[in-house]
Amino acid sequence: MNRSLSHEHTPPSVTQSANSTELTIGGTIVFTFAISNPGTAPLARAVLRDMLPAELSFAENSVTVGGAAAPGVDPESGIPVGPVAPKASVSVLFAAIAVREPQNLIAVNLADLSFEFVAEDGLTVPGTAQSNPITLMINEEEE
């Protein structure tokens, strides 16, 4: 039987924001992801992945999930978000450092959430949701 996510479950939303949209080389940016589950079934095995643009480098040990530090976790490998209850949300934050100037001064960041939920008939159904893009301007520091 072929299952459609939209038929069985209202998909979660992944809303990305940043503390700044303009950076200089060496500057730090903090990304915040609000992961909301508007559905009636809990999300299980929720993992946020963010393949940062080449111009950014992840700041080690900067991840927090629901306000708790998550040392050793890396957004490119995946940040375990844990279960997300129905009608609830979880926030994920991490920092990155600007390491080089993009060719056109613009870098775009996106993330994906993978998850599972149990459908009404008891079957486990996988799903994914993509964040909104954040456009960053990265410049060399003025001399």
Residue-range definition of the domain harbouring residue 40: 5-131
Number of domains present in the structure of the chain: 1
User: pLDDT (tens digit, 0 to 9) for every residue of the chain, 143 residues total?
Assistant: 334 444 456 889 999 999 999 999 999 999 999 999 998 889 999 999 999 999 999 999 999 999 999 999 999 999 999 899 999 999 999 999 999 999 889 999 999 999 998 888 888 989 999 999 999 999 987 65
Q: 70-95 burial by CB neighbour count: b if 16+ within 10 A, else e?
A: beebbbeebbebeebeeeebbebbbb
Nearby residues of 81 by Cβ (< 8 Å), 6 or more positions away = 35, 43, 46, 47, 48, 65, 90, 92, 113
Here the CATH number for the domain that contains residue 73 is 2.60.40.740
The answer to whether position 50 is within a domain reads yes
The answer to whether position 17 is within a domain reads yes
pTM summary value? 0.90
The answer to whether position 143 is within a domain reads no
The answer to whether position 141 is within a domain reads no
- Write the DSSP symbol of residue 32: E
The answer to whether position 137 is within a domain reads no
The answer to whether position 12 is within a domain reads yes
